[in-house]
Structure formats: C-alpha cells, structure tokens
Structure 1
C-alpha cells in the first residue's frame, strides 16, 4: 500500500456519512422553522468532517499503542498497524486535524454571532473544545474512556444531542425541547453502529484489555441492548412528528424503518461476531438515510 492510499485508508471515509447525519438533520429542522444559512451549513459540515477524521486518526493511533490492533482483529487493518505510517507521522496528522477543527469551528462561530450572544458563543466554543478532546481521548491517553465502557455515552452526546441540537442552535439562536427527540434518534442509531463495532471485536478487545460496554455485559445482553437502541430511536422520531404534525409528508422517514429493522434482525440472529462487519456500513448509511428522509419530510 502506498503512503497516499494508507492516509486515505486511515481517514476511514466510510464513517463520514454517519458523522454528517446530525449536521444534516439539525439543518433540516432549522429550515422547517424558517432558518438557514449556507455559510453556517458549509462550515458546520466542514468542522464535522475534520472532527470525524481526527477521531478516526486518534483511534488508529490509540489502538496501535494499546495493542488492540493486531492480527486477530476482525475489522480492516489500520494504518499504523500496517507499518506504512509511523506513530510519529500519525501524531503529527492528529495535530494537523486538531488545528483544522479549531480554525473551522471558530469561523463557524464567527458566522453565527449575528444570532448568538458572546456568552452563547463561548458556550458553543467550549462544546467544540470538548468534542475535540472526546475525539482524541476515546483511545488515546492514560485513561481513554473508550477502554472503560463510556464510548456509547460520548457517541450519544456528540453524534446526537450536541450535533443536532448544536447545529439547530447555530441557525436559530434558540432551543426547543422537542429537538432533543430526533437528536436522540440519531444519537442512539450512532451508538448502534458503535455497538456493532464492539460486538464484532469483542473477543480481541477482551484479550487486549479494551473493556467496551459489550465486553462488560457480554454478547447476549449486547444484542438486547441493540434492540433497545433501535426501537427507542424509532419511537423518539415518531413522537416528534406527532407533536409537530402538519402533513403526511412528515412520514417520509418511515422509509428508513425497514432498513433499521433488517439490521436489527441480523444482529439478533447473529452467532458469529465477525459476520457483523458488513452491518456497520449498512447501519451507518441507514442512519444517514433516516436523517435525510426525516429532515426532508419536515420541510416539504
């Protein structure tokens, strides 16, 4: 593998649609309430892409340091593990994406200042800094939270609540408690993708001391947990539409439900962890499709 291909592989482009799900949904919800800005949309999208790539690079680095990336790992080979990219090179690239995330995020806040007070902007800046810290500390550091079963919580917060609600707030400068319902849907579906990842890697994670939630509760309970994630995500979306009912076009998001249910059935019937690998991409794309259909249905 060439160096260029190794870097593209390390960026893990297949994870980007999932990361964009919250930005798109937050934007659609803002449009449905009469607010939109092209600059905010583009900058929020760019910042999210930088943060996701930062998270992927840090994860590659952290798992290589801890030994979680080895020959027994089920998923695709990581860049540092392959030896094509050194740890020093990966650290430098992590620093690059920290700065890119900061610059893009600051520009985003500058554009949003027409609606936000300086105190509100500072709070949003703090959330952004926490997002950068969360992206790195998932597997990097003396006590990475991803190795202690807290990955699910952080994914729910940053891929769901902070992503959707934060994006909506940047457009509107206001909050509505019902926004937390679809935000929770995206957050829970994103946690579902992480749960699939951890179910796939449960054997190797157990051997290497990576105590994910799946390692802690076991594969059987992880399947039940997955059921709750999907069902509650769908229920929260239905609740939001019922509260804000206007027309049947709002039911467009139901087109995503067969995809989510199919993924759920595959997980519930699974007997061999490595067979879950293709489901990560499918659930991530299903989540993105859910965000699109839900958002478009709200503005039609």
Structure 2
C-alpha cells in the first residue's frame, strides 16, 4: 500500500474524532482501578472501541454516499469517495473486515472472560454503529443520532470498560458517564449544523433539521449548559473529586462558540469553527479524568 493510499485511509478514519473514544475508556478504566489493573483487558477494550469507531465512520461514508446525503456541497463525512481516493467497493470490504475483528474481540470478552451481562451492551453498540445511516433503520436520518451517540459514547463505553476491568458494572460509572455522552453527542450535533441545508435536501432529518435554525441555536446553548451542570452535580455529590470543577475554566470557550454561532449568518461557515466544540470535549473530559483519579 503506497503512502497516498495510507493517507486516504487515515482521512477516512477521521483522526480528530478518535479522542471521543479515548476519554470514556480512560475514565472507565480509572474508575475500576481499585479492582486491580489489567493491561490486557484494557487493550482489548481499546482495540474493540477504536475498531468500532473506525468502522462507524467509514460505514457512514459508505451509506451516506449511496443514499446521496453527502453529495454536492455537503461538508460531512471524510469525502474520500468523492475525491476518488478510496472506492466504494474498498470501503465495503473494509467495513466487513473491521466488523469481523470487532466481533471476534467481543466474543472473547463475553465468553472468554465470562462477562455474559455485557452481551446486550455490545450488541446495542454494534447495531447502532451499523444502522446509524444504513437502511432500513437509518436512525440518524430521523433525528436520533445524538441520542444513540450519547448512550454509546457515555454509559456503554464508560460502564462497559469498567465492567471488563472490574468484572461487574457500577452505578457510579454510569452517572459519571452522563456528561461524557452528552459532550460527544454535542460534537455530532454541532457538526450537523453546517449541513442542515444539504441534509434536508437529501431527506436526512437530523435533529438540527427538525428543530430549524432558531431552535437549533437555543438547544446548543442549553445542551452545553447542562453538561456543566451535570459535572458540578457530580462534584457536589462526591462522585467526582474537586478537580472536576476545572471544567469551569472552559466557559470562555463555550461563550466564544456561542458568539460565533449567533453572529454567523451562513451556517455552512460553522464547519471551520468545529475545533471549539472539540476543545470543550477534550478539556472537560480531562477535568473528569482528574476528578476520578
């Protein structure tokens, strides 16, 4: 495989978003530290989660392309098909291979480690990964993308990691996972704002499309505010130590993002400011990590 093809697959994987997977895994792992440390189990979870994240991204590219959702002036996706860097057939085979790898790792976690209770969570994660934009369900086309992402990247990933390490689930891990899931979902929500026009034209009724421009802006403010409130509540109840309040240092980033959205007439231009919502996730995620140490 030549360098250009490797670069194309890296582009398809969308590396800037992999931090979304790493933070909840670290949180779940650290919360389970009192039950012993297992590098092997951590590695299994890490590989499985990154494989599913990767395959979700390219599956979205694949099915959005064949359904016409990422054509024309659409911004979403990696654009590797449109740029003729990777063929549709190559993406299809990669999807099959990656799901197979994830399936094998999951079989070992459930049956090899005898964590049978994890099976429903893993099945939910796999099916929601595939049917985000794949027919016949296509829940991302019906305004449910953020909900499923919040559940998968929050409770399922944090509690699932904790479960693999500690051999049991934890309500504490569940509650701590709530702002994590909300933060990852907020990235998806923000990234859908520039594509509202093309998504609606393609019949992709995302949450932002359903809300319309005015309510989408209001929901963005409320969404990010709730994240801060949940972190404060976790510290107040003792589920997070005081370093969790370091998240309040990101309020200026939050305010800057809101000012940008409010002052931008053409929301297609919001795509170039996506770094701010990712910064909010990264620094707030770090504050939660420090809070569980």
Do these two structures clear the TM 0.5 threshold for a shared fold by scoring above it? yes
Q: How many residues are paired up?
A: 291
Alignment of structure 1 residues 76-95 onto 2, 5 Å: 78-95=79-96
1:65 Cα deviation after fit: 0.5
Matched, 1:198 2:189: no
Mapped to 2, the partners of 1:252 and 1:107 lie a distance apart of 38
Matched, 1:291 2:293: no
**Distance 1:34-1:110 versus aligned 2 partners, 3 A rule:** same
TM-score (norm 1): 0.87
Mapped to 2, the partners of 1:232 and 1:181 lie a distance apart of 14
Match of 1:82, SS state, is coil
1:71 Cα deviation after fit: 2.5
Match of 1:218, SS state, is helix
1:246 Cα deviation after fit: 8.4
Segments of 5+ residues of structure 2 without an aligned counterpart are none
Mapped to 1, the partners of 2:58 and 2:129 lie a distance apart of 9
Mapped to 2, the partners of 1:204 and 1:239 lie a distance apart of 38
1:51 Cα deviation after fit: 0.7
Matched, 1:237 2:238: no
Structure 1 contact 190–287 (Cα < 8 Å) conserved: yes
TM-score (norm 2): 0.89
Partner of 2:131 in structure 1?
A: 137
Mapped to 1, the partners of 2:197 and 2:142 lie a distance apart of 16
Structure 1 contact 178–240 (Cα < 8 Å) conserved: no
Q: 1:8 aligns with which of 4, 7, 10?
A: 10
**Distance 1:79-1:215 versus aligned 2 partners, 3 A rule:** same
1:4 Cα deviation after fit: 2.8
Match of 2:18, SS state, is helix
Mapped to 2, the partners of 1:80 and 1:247 lie a distance apart of 46
Mapped to 2, the partners of 1:39 and 1:61 lie a distance apart of 33
Structure 1 contact 191–229 (Cα < 8 Å) conserved: no
1:252 Cα deviation after fit: 3.6
Structure 1 contact 195–222 (Cα < 8 Å) conserved: no
1:70 Cα deviation after fit: 1.5
**Distance 1:39-1:263 versus aligned 2 partners, 3 A rule:** farther
1:233-289: CA deviation from partner (whole Å, max 9, x where unpaired): 111111111111786445344344443443344334433212221333432243133
Partner of 2:162 in structure 1?
A: 168
